[in-house]
Structures are given as structure tokens and as C-alpha cells.
Amino acid sequence: MSPDSLSKETDRSVSEGIQRIIPLGLTVQEAKAWYRYDVTTPLIREGLLTTSFGIMLILSTLTPLGDYLESDLVLHMIPQHLIFIVAGFLLFSGLSSLTLATSYSSKNANRMRKTLVKANSVVNKRGFITFVIAALLIAYWYVPANFDAAVLNDTVHIQMHFTFIVVGALAFIGTRSLSKRARHFAPVIAGKAMGMFGALLLLTTRYVYSTYPLSEQTELGVVMVVMMLVIDLTIVPYELYNYFGKASSPSFSS
């Protein structure tokens, strides 16, 4: 076989390999990287991130750190709950990478992953279903009666924390159906909801969560509104620059 024929045969093999794994839910660039075995780096990165947040999750639940976070309404609702949500997101991200690795060498796993990705794209268009379920789960636990019950009852508290892990997993599944720009704007939408709730806590003079002092309720409202503004002032200008700035930048040819 001539060198040219061998090169064409190799290119055909690479192309077939890439086309075989694109239906697994990867972009063409991700598929090329996977075919070159560059997936090892993200696997290690996700593994380290998942492990670190898993350790933080354990520390915030089974050590005095958990009692400290739960002693203040702001620390309880934002850092602690965020740890559980991010841990759930990273956990399912790691599982997704592992199933991808398995599907590359196993036809059955390959077929199963294709089916799951296709079902998610058909049933869960734009991540709508998973995002709605995640929002409803958060809203359920932030209902004053439910939140106070979780603070006063250890069993209910564990149920609430587990739910936030599920919320993180749902967020990961939902983001798989979004474009890159939509993924960037998703935190803005979440920030708006958080800011509206924070404004309610800030303006009301009544107890919303009776298990914490009224002053902490006001502090939580301030923090939520500030976080919304920070999200808006970082993501929105960045996306506007990417959309308008780069498009209007002159190109020079040599």
C-alpha cells in the first residue's frame, strides 16, 4: 500500500471514529479531543473537583463546621446549600464522563448512552423540564414552614440537603441541552429569582423564618440582592462584548 493510500485509510478511520462518538452528546471538537484520548485531562480535573466538594460536603454536614454554617441564616442558605448543589452538579458531571469512557470501549454502554442522550434531547428540550423541577425543589425547601422544620428536625434536614444534591444533578442534565451562550445566561436568570426573593426579605418587617433572628433575615436579603447585581455586572457585560465587540472588531489581512 502506497503512503498516500495509507494516509487516506488512516484519515477515514479517524473520521469514522469521530462520527461514531458524536451521537453520544459531544460536539465535533469534543469528539475530536476524545478520539485523541485528550479526555483524560478533564476526567482528572472533574475527579479532583468532585472529590474536593465531596470533602466540603462531608465537613459541612458531619463536623462542627456544619453547626457553624447553620448557626447563621446567611451562611446556612447560601454557602452550605451552594456546596450541596455544586457537589451534585460535579458528581453527575463525573458520572457522565465515566459513562462516556465506558461507552467508547463497550457497544452496550455506547448504545445505552446514545439512548439516554436522545431521550434527554427529545423530552427535555432546552433543559426546561429539569430546570423547572430543580426550581420547584428549591422553592419547596425555602417555604418558611418547610425550612423551619428542616432546621428543627435532623431527619428533615438530611432530606433537604439530599434534595439540593439532586438539584445540582438536574442542573447538570439541563445544561447539556443548552447552547454555550445560554449556559452563560442561565446564572443571570437564577440570579434574578434570587434577587427578587432577597428584596422580599429585605423589605418585609415580618418574620419569614422564625428559627432565625429578624436581623439575619434582613442580612440575607441584602446578600441575595448584592449577589444578583454581581452576577449581572460580570456576565452581562462579558456576553455583550463577545456578541458586539468581537463582531465589530476590524480584521486586518497581511
Q: Residue 227 CB: number of other CB atoms within 10 A? A: 16
Domains of the chain, residue spans: 22-178, 179-244
Extended strands (E) in the chain: none
Kindly tell me if the per-residue pLDDT of 91 is higher than 50: yes
Given pLDDT bands bounded at 50, 70 and 90, which one contains residue 16?
low
Does pTM surpass 0.85? Answer: no
Q: What is the pLDDT of residue 74?
A: 92
Q: What is the pLDDT of residue 10?
A: 46
Kindly tell me if the per-residue pLDDT of 133 is higher than 80: yes
- Rounded to 10°, the helix 128-142/154-175 angle is 160
Nearest CA to 114 among 19, 24, 22?
A: 24
Residue 205 C-alpha from the chain's centroid = 34
Q: What is the pLDDT of residues 24-42, one digit of tens each?
A: 555 556 565 555 555 556 6
Q: What is the pLDDT of residue 36?
A: 54
| Average pLDDT rounded to a whole number, residues 120-131 | 78
Q: Which residue has the higher pLDDT, 230 or 127?
A: 230
Nearest CA to 220 among 242, 243, 204?
A: 204
Q: How is 56-76 classified by DSSP, letter by letter?
A: HHHHHHHSHHHHHHHTSHHHI
